[in-house]
Amino acid sequence: MADDSALFTRLTDAAVLVERDDRVELTDEFASTLGIVRATYGDCPTDKFHAAVAETFDLSTKAAAEQIDTHDVTREEFCILKAVQRFLDGATSETLLVSVGMVAAARDSPVPGSLPLLSKSPDDVLADRDAVVFVFARDCRPCTRLKAEFETVTDAIPDAVATFGVDGGNAPTIRDRYDVTVAPTALFLVDGELATRVEGDESPAAFEAAATSAYQ
């Protein structure tokens, strides 16, 4: 706990984190830097992701790929690490890795808390199933508006249809498979196959119409 406390103090002193109203948040400066880093690595090809991790930790590309797989490292986690690295001069790899958890905990998920997160093996979850998958993104105003209306949106989905949420920044497989280029996007699957979708800043009525089209 003492080490964690010291690291938290270091992160606040470095303007990564700030305490506001009994909550810990990212500073505007750090959030801006994270956005810049995310533009480089958040959606990069797998080989570039592996190479970036290898360079950061002085590993071979093969060893980096193995570590990513073993520890289930996401691009978003790596983006946080790279952003923290810019604020903590001379930080060790261990310090950076622990910092990732602290910074991630200070950020709200773009996915509504009432929505189960889709596992990282979507084939196992979605095969032959009726389901609606909502893809959200961080720092996305339409996503925030959808979250505010989410109870109304889900009321239009039959109880027998499973619903899942996805943080699009951590789900390149889902994005690529269903050609998701807009946030938010709702994917309406019937027997595991895409039947229709709703993209962008749409009203609850659009989601209701899509649910009716797919499931009635």
Specify whether 207 is located in the same domain as 158. Answer: yes
Question: Domain of 79?
Answer: 2-105
**What integer best gives the mean pLDDT of the chain?**
90
**Residue 128 Cα distances to 67, 87, 119, 171, 197, angstroms:** 32, 47, 16, 20, 18
pLDDT digits (tens, 9 = 90+) for 2-60: 478 899 999 999 999 988 766 678 888 998 899 899 989 988 999 999 999 999 999 99
State the total domains in the chain. 2
Give the CATH number for residue 142. Answer: 3.40.30.10
* pTM for this predicted structure: 0.57
Residues 137 and 189 in one domain: yes
**Residues 133 and 203 both lie in one domain:** yes
Q: What per-residue confidence (pLDDT) applies to 26?
A: 85
Q: What is the pLDDT of residues 156-189, one digit of tens each?
A: 999 999 999 988 877 788 888 999 999 999 999 9
Tell me if 115 is assigned to some domain.
no
CA distance from start to end of the chain? 54
Whether 210 maps to a domain, the answer reads: yes
Domain annotation covers residue 188: yes
Does 13 map to a domain?
yes
Whether the pLDDT of residue 1 is over 50: the answer is: no
144 falls within a domain: yes
Long-range Cβ pairs for the range 179-185 (8 Å, 24+) = 180/135, 183/135, 183/136, 183/137, 183/140, 183/142, 183/143, 184/134, 184/135, 184/136, 184/137, 184/140, 184/142, 184/143, 184/146, 185/134, 185/135
Whether 44 maps to a domain, the answer reads yes
* Distances in whole angstroms, Cα of residue 142 to Cα of each of 174, 184, 197: 20, 7, 16
Give me the torsion for CA of 174, 179, 183, 188, rounded to 10°: -70
Indicate whether 205 pLDDT > 50: yes
Assess whether 79 and 164 both reside in one domain: no
What pLDDT shows up at residue 67?
93
Identify the domain boundary among 56, 74, 105. 105
- Residues 161 and 202 occupy one common structural domain: yes
Is position 117 within any domain? no
Same domain, 129 and 43: no
* 113 compared with 198, residue with greater pLDDT: 198
Same domain, 38 and 70: yes
Q: Which of 74, 78, 109, 80 is nearest to 16 (CA)?
A: 80
Is the model's pLDDT at 109 over the cut of 80?
no
Judge whether 191 lies within some domain. Answer: yes
User: Looking at the structure, do residues 91 and 162 belong to the same domain, yes or no?
Assistant: no
Same structural domain for residues 15 and 70?
Answer: yes
Same domain, 164 and 101: no
The pLDDT of residue 170 is: 72
Which of the listed residues 105, 139, 174 is the one where a domain comes to its end? 105
Radius of gyration of the chain (CA): 19
Are residue 170 and residue 78 in the same domain, yes or no?
Answer: no
pLDDT of residue 193 exceeding 60: yes
Q: Tokens at residue 24, please?
A: 């810990």
Which range of 100-104, 125-129, 196-200 scores highest in mean pLDDT? It is 196-200
On whether both 130 and 157 belong to a single domain, the answer is yes
pLDDT (0 to 100) of residue 2: 43
**Residue 81, pLDDT score:** 96
Residue 134 has pLDDT above 50, yes or no: yes
